Amino acid sequence: MPRPGQVKPETDERLSDRIAVGLLTRSFPPELVDRVVTECGRSGQRNRLLPPRVVVYFVLAMCLFAGQGYEEVARLLTHGLAWAKRWSGSWQVPTTAAISRARAKLGPEPLKALFGQVARPLATQSTPGAFYGRWRLMAVDGTVFGVPDSEENAAYFGRPKTHRTQRCAFPQVRVAALAECGTHAITAAALGPLAVSEPALARELFGHLGTGDLLLADRGFTGLELWRAAAAGGADLLWRVKSSAVLPVRKDLPDGSYLSDIVTAKDHRKRSDPQVVRMIEYTLDDPGRPGQEAPYRLITTILDHEVAPALELAALYGQRWEIETALDELKTHQRGPAEVLRSRSPGGVEQEVWEHLLVHHAIRTLMHDTAEHTGLDPDRLSFTRSIRLARRQVTAQAAFSP
């Protein structure tokens, strides 16, 4: 209700121009959204029922309310504004068909471009667990999202087979992500069909690394060419390798590590183009992990054992699991456990993935800012509670113009 004595001014604004979604408009200001939409060639007339800016915020809100239908999400966006009537003419909740057409017209490109504008590392030197010496800890990994079983999605993305070679129920889109270990902020991502491997997608992310970054990766990311691509921008690497990998001892170091070299599979015998690396081997003395006799093997570009002792790097490698937690937040807590995406077309699927990445980054930004203000470790804050707060802000702050 309006406050006593409040006079509602005359204006030509439409309700759709006044939609705000709390945290999301804070993270993605309307001016930035409008600019990205225009640069992607998706700008439209402001007097339409679903102008592009509103569609962007709508699809972001879809991620916050993954279990709600299109029309209900639209109602949540406009909740609390009916009394104001600060727009000309009437405004009604768009139909599901109208929203679907607006989403298709917008496409995935503005969401991808918006992510490219805002996705940045968040940690400062005071953020617990974010740095090792002069290095910012980063990690790369991949995951898949289940998508609706439509002919278009199946043809474009493909579907995995079960262990009995039967078809999986749903097609899947593969996503590779680069994340900051200390804050769980996903700073870069690439997506594609299931047939494209995680290492192939990861190549698209390495341009976001530079001097001062230390990239952690599991043993699925192997190969000399991938190693060199990841280090090309000046980043240092700490990757696990398979126990079967052949890495000859070239020089023993006082901390128990040793210098070795890696080559391409074709150059295994001649070793004509080797890349010098430092090898660290260790085992875990953990009663909860029976049968773990094979040593963990890490290779790194940090060749100076005095700058980064083997024992410290072995302990540091456990930070790689932070990206696993970030992807779990994205898929389980934000999207919903065992849920598939909404879209039955490849363009819609890609749009949804970028939406989820944007919302996750917004929530993680809120958590980092809160932790920094209170002097806490961002890992000590609850992602589930934070996303609930973001959902409440959608309706609580809807009456404020973006």
pLDDT digits (tens, 9 = 90+) for 129-146: 899 999 999 999 999 999
Vertex 303, ends 293 and 244: CA angle to 5°? Answer: 30
Q: From 66, 40, 42, select the one nearest 52 (Cα to Cα).
A: 42
Q: Is the pLDDT of residue 9 over 80?
A: no
Q: Which of 114-128, 162-176, 297-311 has the lowest mean pLDDT?
A: 162-176
pTM: 0.87
Name the band, by pLDDT with cuts 50, 70 and 90, for residue 292: low
| Tens digit of each residue's pLDDT (9 = 90 or more) over 352-363 | 999 999 999 999
| Tens digit of each residue's pLDDT (9 = 90 or more) over 117-130 | 999 999 999 999 89
pLDDT for residue 17: 42
141/176 Cα distance (integer angstroms):
6
Q: Read out DSSP for 243-284?
A: TT-----SEE-TTS-EEEEE--GGGTTT--S-EEEEEEEE--
Tokens read off for 63: 């991620």
pLDDT for residue 7: 39
The CA distances from residue 41 to 38, 73, 236, 349, in Å, are: 5, 26, 38, 20
Residue given tokens 């078809």 in the structure block: 167
4/7 Cα distance (integer angstroms):
9
pLDDT for residue 24: 79
Name the band, by pLDDT with cuts 50, 70 and 90, for residue 19: very low
Q: From 366, 296, 265, 300, select the one nearest 22 (Cα to Cα).
A: 366
pLDDT for residue 33: 92
Q: Is the pLDDT of residue 315 over 80?
A: yes
